[in-house]
Amino acid sequence: MFSSLLTSLVGGFEMFIADLANYAYREFPAALSLSGASFTWQDVTSHSSIESLREQTIERAVNEMLRASFDDWLATFEKKFSVAVPSVVREVAVREVFQRRNLVVHNDSVVNELYREKVRGLPECPPVGVQLVVDAEYLRDAADRLWATAWHLAWAFGDKLIKGGDREIFEMFICNVPYRHLEDKRYRAIEFADCAHVVRSVKDEGNALILKVNVWLAKKRLGKFDECRDEIVAWPTAHLSPQYQLARLALLDQLEEGMALVEEIRYTKNLSFTSWYTWPLLEELREYELRLASGQKELEPPPQ
């Protein structure tokens, strides 16, 4: 069952790649001149308009690209669209997901020389003849890696092609997507994304801060808070809105001060009813309030 789900997962990613390429060709039509497509007079006359011919050309270019490998997709993005593909997308662990899917479909999940060649550099690469198992843990890991890859590619294309008023909307969307993974406790997906590059590239400071806070919380939930604690301690929030002041207090487990701020802003525009009860960042504060309400004097240290 998990092997079948892996093939479906990779298939879904391929659909994303197709949608991304379709969008890019429409926004960057000069790339069609690099597709190598040629037409007979019959091809041209069979269309009622140049637009119809253009649509068919895009469809052919996308279908041709999808028949290639993951590495070829990245090369196409760089060559035809001049999109800078981030290094995190090129990690061997990402490539391994596609090669594992190929083994499942074409070789009964048994490792062959082609697999080993394609995933060279993978830690503890299995020998030829071993049948790889796709279990729940591997599938979850693969899903998180493919999401991180798609997120970075979406940012790379949008950063290049989206301008004007749509830019702010796009940045807001990109920076808020990781929040959904916090709600689902998919902290590894955010870790795999390695969001520092996007944080530096986002033009709106508010969106960049939202993304940074989400990354910090993911590290905290993964037990890697020491990697960002000093940065949060040094984060100046006095001039920022109460939400960011509360975020800093919650991240640092300054629960008494955090609860005082909650009492001040709860059920206002700065901390709505829904946000108080659903914001993953406030989990420790909600638990803290419940312990106080129960009369517990000795408070256990909050989970890390």
Dihedrals φ, ψ of 271, to 5°?
-155, 90
Determine what percent of the chain is predicted with pLDDT higher than 70. 91
Q: What is the mean pLDDT of residues 122-136?
A: 93
Burial (Cβ within 10 Å: 0-12, 13-18, ≥19) of residue 23: middle
Residue 178 has pLDDT above 70, yes or no: yes
Instruction: Give the highest mean pLDDT range of 53-67, 132-146, 159-173, 286-300.
Output: 132-146
The answer to whether 83 touches 160, Cβ cutoff 8 Å, is yes
Residue 158 has pLDDT above 80, yes or no: yes
* Model confidence pLDDT, tens digit, residues 216-262: 999 999 999 999 999 999 999 999 999 999 999 999 999 999 999 99
Q: What is the mean pLDDT of the chain?
A: 90
Q: What is the pLDDT of residue 37?
A: 58
Angle at 236 between CA 206 and CA 199, to 5 degrees: 40
Q: Where are the alpha helices (DSSP H) in 112-164?
A: 113-118, 136-161
Q: What is the mean pLDDT of residues 1-24?
A: 94
CB contact set of 202 (below 8 Å; sequence gap of 6+): 171, 174, 175, 208, 211
* Model confidence pLDDT, tens digit, residues 263-279: 999 999 999 999 999 99
Q: What is the mean pLDDT of residues 203-221?
A: 95
CA distances from 30 to 35, 53, 75, 79, 179 (A): 10, 15, 17, 12, 36
Residue 300 pLDDT class (50, 70, 90 cuts): low
* Model confidence pLDDT, tens digit, residues 39-52: 565 666 676 676 77
Whole-number Å distance between alpha carbons of 216 and 196: 11
CA distances from 183 to 13, 273, 275 (A): 22, 16, 12
* Model confidence pLDDT, tens digit, residues 58-115: 888 888 889 999 999 999 999 988 898 988 899 999 999 999 999 999 999 999 999 9
Residue 35 pLDDT class (50, 70, 90 cuts): low
Tokens of 182: 């916090």
The answer to whether 102 touches 115, Cβ cutoff 8 Å, is yes
Q: What is the pLDDT of residue 296?
A: 67
Q: What is the pLDDT of residue 28?
A: 82
Q: What is the pLDDT of residue 27?
A: 83
Q: What is the pLDDT of residue 48?
A: 62
> Closest Cα partner for 91 from 14, 139, 152, 6?
152
DSSP one-letter string for 61-103: HHHHHHTS-HHHHHHHHHHHH-----GGGG-HHHHHHHHHHHH
Whole-number Å distance between alpha carbons of 281 and 87: 29
| Cross-strand bridge partners of residue 142 | none
Q: What is the pLDDT of residue 38?
A: 63
Q: What is the mean pLDDT of residues 195-210?
A: 91
